[in-house]
Amino acid sequence: MKKLLLIIAFGMFSNSYAQGCSDAGICSIGNSFQTTDKESKNGIEAGAIFGTGEADVTYISPYLTYTRTINERLSLSSKITYSVASGSFGQRGAFGDAFLIGNYNWKPKSHTQWSSLLGLKIPFTSSNLKINEFSLPLDYQSSLGTFDLIAGLNLNYKKWDFNTAVQIPVFNNNKNSYFREFSNTDDFPSTNLFERKSDALFRTTYTFQTTTKKFTFKPNVLFIYHLGEDSFENAFGQRETIKNSDGLTINGNIIGAYTINTKNSIELSLATPFLVREVRPDGLTRGFTAGIIYKVSF
């Protein structure tokens, strides 16, 4: 049973969501509440997510996660992301971010289990990748270039999980230099020296299994509130607010996991947004995502 729980836990470690928050970090954060069992101290997860973005942009975003269980309460995870964006500007890919997250499970009660997490997001780029010296919108950047603090809380009640989290940019190293007026298209807003506001997340997940317990399904709904309007520096060196870039996004996500054995599982994830913000300059919006993830514990 413990091993099965381990696989389930791994199965929840990373999801693909249709509308990003900050580099998809906060979107998969609920999974970090799950920890490995006592028998396996290590877990590795490798995944690749295909997504469609704004205008004609498509993405392939592989990632790798390593989780180390310190003791029955505490675990540490690290994650590295990579992303290749393809669209009318061309193709551009690079490493995105590193995530370092600690998860603490509080003493379980009869039907409930609280856990909390604290983490950092460290960008690998300053969000100013170019093609042939031409500046690209954030939709083509593999990272937003912000160092973020991530904090969250999870309540597990029977087959339900309730996550809440915040992702706060604490240091902005975004050096993007994209101007709409120099680009011959109105598909993307200007994001020169972009400054981003925080996100808050709430997610509800219901987990059920087939009788053989080989298959696990986890439909979930994710609410993300972008807590303020982002801004950029215009061509005259003045900071300008991007109107209507704050607000609510609601995503639907379904995950199907197949347990190969007690140590290995494979997972498919599909997601799409039901509600999006009016203006989405960060390039994290996806019309649709499909992910495949392999997990192993040892």
Partner 1 sequence: MKRIIFILPLLLLLISCEVEGDLTRDVELTSPIPENTPPLATGNFMPTSGIKVTGSAKIYLNGNQSEVRLEDFSVSSGPDLKVYLSKNDTPLEFVNLGNLTSSTVYSIPTQVNVSAYKYVLIHCQQYSHLFAVAQLSQN
Partners of 290 in beta bridges: 50, 270
Kindly indicate which of the ranges 111-119, 155-163, 180-188, 215-223 contains the residues binding partner 1, using the contact rule CB under 8 A: 180-188
Q: Does 44 bind partner 1 (CB under 8 A)?
A: yes
The SS3 call for residue 124 is coil
Least distance to partner 1, CB of residue 151, Å: 27
Q: Does 131 bind partner 1 (CB under 8 A)?
A: yes
Specify whether the CB–CB gap between 192 and 209 falls below 8 A. Answer: no
Structure token digits, residue 37: 């069992």
Specify whether the CB–CB gap between 265 and 259 falls below 8 A. Answer: yes
Which of 220, 222, 297, 208 is closest to 257 using CA atoms? 208
| Beta strand ranges found along the chain (DSSP E) | 42-52, 58-69, 74-87, 90-105, 112-123, 130-131, 134-135, 146-157, 160-172, 199-206, 208-209, 215-226, 231-233, 239-241, 247-259, 264-275, 288-297
Q: Using alpha carbons, list the distances in angstroms from residue 232 to 27, 176, 178, 193, 242.
A: 24, 9, 10, 5, 7
Kindly indicate which of the ranges 30-38, 68-76, 183-191, 203-211 contains the residues binding partner 1, using the contact rule CB under 8 A: 183-191
| Closer CB to partner 1, 33 or 89, in the complex | 89
Least distance to partner 1, CB of residue 138, Å: 15
Least distance to partner 1, CB of residue 87, Å: 8
| Closer CB to partner 1, 5 or 235, in the complex | 235
By the 10 Å C-beta count (0-12 exposed, 13-18 middle, 19+ buried), 293 is classed as buried
Least distance to partner 1, CB of residue 152, Å: 25
Read off the amino acid at residue 147: F
Q: Does 92 bind partner 1 (CB under 8 A)?
A: yes
Q: Does 183 bind partner 1 (CB under 8 A)?
A: yes
Q: Which residue has the tokens 């054995």?
A: 261
- Out of 31, 177, 251, 289, the only residue in the binding site for partner 1 (CB under 8 A) is 177
- Out of 113, 116, 126, 272, the only residue in the binding site for partner 1 (CB under 8 A) is 126
Contact letters for partner 1, residues 220-239 (x by CB under 8 A): ---------------xxx--
Specify whether the CB–CB gap between 66 and 42 falls below 8 A. Answer: yes
Least distance to partner 1, CB of residue 108, Å: 30
Q: Does 75 bind partner 1 (CB under 8 A)?
A: no
Least distance to partner 1, CB of residue 241, Å: 18
Q: Using alpha carbons, list the distances in angstroms from residue 65 to 143, 154, 296.
A: 17, 20, 11
- Out of 109, 111, 158, 184, the only residue in the binding site for partner 1 (CB under 8 A) is 184
Specify whether the CB–CB gap between 67 and 33 falls below 8 A. Answer: no
- Out of 62, 219, 247, 287, the only residue in the binding site for partner 1 (CB under 8 A) is 62
- Out of 3, 50, 76, 93, the only residue in the binding site for partner 1 (CB under 8 A) is 93
Q: Does 89 bind partner 1 (CB under 8 A)?
A: yes
Count of chain residues binding partner 1 (CB under 8 A)? 42
Q: Which residues bind partner 1 (CB under 8 A)?
A: 44, 46, 62-64, 80, 82, 84, 86, 88-95, 126, 128-135, 175, 177, 179, 181-185, 192-193, 235-237, 294, 296, 298
